[in-house]
Chains A and B, each alone.
Chain A
Amino acid sequence: QQQVKQSPQSLIVQKGGISIINCAYENTAFDYFPWYQQFPGKGPALLIAIRPDVSEKKEGRFTISFNKSAKQFSLHIMDSQPGDSATYFCAASNYGQNFVFGPGTRLSVLP
């Protein structure tokens, strides 16, 4: 029940395309859903986050879509750029504790 599933494991997208990464959770007590971006040799950086009282949040080219009834959320990267090539982790937590991370998606954006 604490697990967060993430797919796909890896993703290759052409420059200018849309990258979509999906996550699913079981624990309905989760109330905070962040996405992290990690470049090789660096710590993960908080990219964007959403709470379950909204269905979508957009920040620049990054959008989180949230489906509370299906217990799923996804990250959309519009106009993907080679600089977006990184590993992306979804996560879920309740009240800022008990953070559970997905296994990660390695995104490669081809020039």
Chain B
Amino acid sequence: SQTIHQWPATLVQPVGSPLSLECTVEGTSNPNLYWYRQAAGRGLQLLFYSVGIGQISSEVPQNLSASRPQDRQFILSSKKLLLSDSGFYLCAAGTDRFGQYFGPGTRLTVT
């Protein structure tokens, strides 16, 4: 079974500062990787997904970017955070015939 690690668990950053959230996956190779954002009490908004190293698709134009430098590593970044970037960020991994499995999430507060 696959395990998804995310860090940090919580983060408080000032407006205008950079961001880097990391996600790593164990127990599977060549997974599809996803970044979601969830506002408090709301649903899941897909931000980025990747089907392979260096292959990133963006679902929503925004202040964020993603990279996949290794097969099982997915990074979410921003050069300058906005207040609206606050939320719960979830990394997920999946294979072609099975569902997505989510990591524990990172709670980001932009002040």
| Interface residue ranges, A against B (CB under 8 Å) | 32, 34, 36, 41-46, 49, 89, 91, 93, 95-97, 99, 101-104, 106
- Chain B interface, number of residues (Cβ within 8 angstroms): 24
Contacts of B103 in A (CB 8 A): 43
| Interface residue ranges, B against A (CB under 8 Å) | 4, 32, 34, 41-44, 46, 49, 51, 90, 94-105, 107
**Overall SS of chain A's interface:** strand
Of all A-B residue pairs in the complex, the 9 with the closest CB atoms, nearest first, are: A43-B102, A96-B96, A34-B99, A103-B43, A101-B44, A43-B105, A44-B102, A104-B43, A46-B99
- In the bound complex, CA of A95 to CA of B99 (Å): 9
- In the bound complex, CA of A7 to CA of B76 (Å): 32
